[in-house]
């Protein structure tokens, strides 16, 4: 299939770029597919969610799935059952959909997560490394100032009441850090003009759905404090 050929070309391109083996490059592309490929609706959320999220079937309609892959959820689930997918790990299922059925990586993840939820292998909001909580806030300051509120330890301590050990920082674009309970945040920034910016937080590696809900509530409170601090 054309999709299979395209996927293999992407694998070999990554091999050339990183020096990885075919197996390693393939695993990275299956686990971390492009979030919104050209064949997916531009307004469709990627197949990941925070605590208390709806299931994939509730978020991505069967009609859109059929248009993109040629099968609806029921047909895909029957095919996966016949392949005994309940006994296989997430990455292997997604890889099988890509390599044997030519499904785009994003849609392979959608089908895989939906199947795992349907068969009780994972609950909404659960990722391969635990649960996740998400939060965002628009703040009326330049994006550089919003980024500094995370990257500058002294400024960060004025609104964030937990320790954050910086991992990476790309000025005005992205900030990652380790937080308590062996969790991690990935923060992205987007300018909305010269004096307005959006910050988005994904807090991952959370042990339970209940704890993820707690972190989500905390982030809502902390982002309100951040907005007050910067705008005042």
What would the pLDDT profile of 5-30 be if each residue is shown by its tens digit? 566 666 676 666 555 566 656 655 55
Average pLDDT over every residue of 40-50: 42
pLDDT for residue 39: 40
Q: Are 69 and 63 in contact (CB under 8 A)?
A: no
First to last CA, the chain: 57
Least confident of 49-58, 137-146, 166-175: 49-58
* Residue 1 clears pLDDT 50, i.e. is over it: no
Helix (H) or strand (E) holding 186: strand 183-191
pLDDT for residue 41: 41
Structure tokens at 56: 């994939």
CA distance 64 to 92: 24
The average confidence (pLDDT) of the chain is 83
pLDDT for residue 18: 53
Q: What is the pLDDT of residues 144-180, one digit of tens each?
A: 999 999 999 999 999 999 999 999 999 999 999 999 9
Helix (H) or strand (E) holding 102: none
* Residue 226 clears pLDDT 70, i.e. is over it: yes
Q: Are 123 and 134 in contact (CB under 8 A)?
A: no
* Residue 84 clears pLDDT 60, i.e. is over it: yes
CA distance 130 to 139: 30
Q: What is the pLDDT of residues 103-122, one digit of tens each?
A: 988 899 899 989 988 888 87
Portion of the chain with pLDDT greater than 70, in percent:
75
Least confident of 6-10, 130-134, 135-139, 149-153: 6-10
Q: What is the pLDDT of residues 58-80, one digit of tens each?
A: 889 999 999 999 999 999 999 99
* Residue 99 clears pLDDT 60, i.e. is over it: yes
Q: Are 211 and 50 in contact (CB under 8 A)?
A: no
């Amino acid at each position: 299939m054309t999709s299979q050929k395209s996927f293999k070309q992407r694998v070999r391109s990554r091999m050339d770029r990183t020096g990885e083996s075919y197996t390693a490059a393939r695993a990275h592309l299956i686990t971390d597919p492009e979030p919104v490929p050209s064949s997916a609706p531009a307004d469709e959320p990627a197949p990941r969610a925070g605590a208390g999220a709806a299931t994939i079937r509730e978020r991505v309609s069967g009609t859109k799935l059929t248009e993109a892959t040629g099968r609806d959820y029921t047909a895909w689930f029957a095919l996966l059952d016949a392949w005994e997918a309940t006994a296989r790990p997430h990455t292997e299922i997604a890889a099988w959909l890509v390599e044997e059925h030519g499904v785009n990586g994003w849609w392979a993840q959608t089908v895989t997560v939906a199947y795992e939820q349907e068969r009780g292998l994972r609950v909404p909001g659960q990722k391969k490394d635990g649960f996740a909580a998400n939060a965002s806030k628009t703040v009326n300051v330049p994006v550089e100032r919003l980024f500094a509120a995370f990257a500058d330890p002294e400024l960060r301590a004025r609104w964030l009441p937990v320790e954050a050990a910086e991992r990476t920082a790309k000025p005005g674009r992205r900030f990652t850090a380790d937080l308590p309970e062996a969790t991690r945040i990935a923060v992205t920034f987007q300018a909305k003009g010269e004096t307005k910016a959006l910050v988005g937080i994904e807090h991952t590696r959370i042990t339970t759905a209940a704890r993820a809900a707690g972190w989500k509530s905390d982030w809502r409170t902390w982002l309100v404090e951040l907005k007050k601090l910067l705008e005042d």
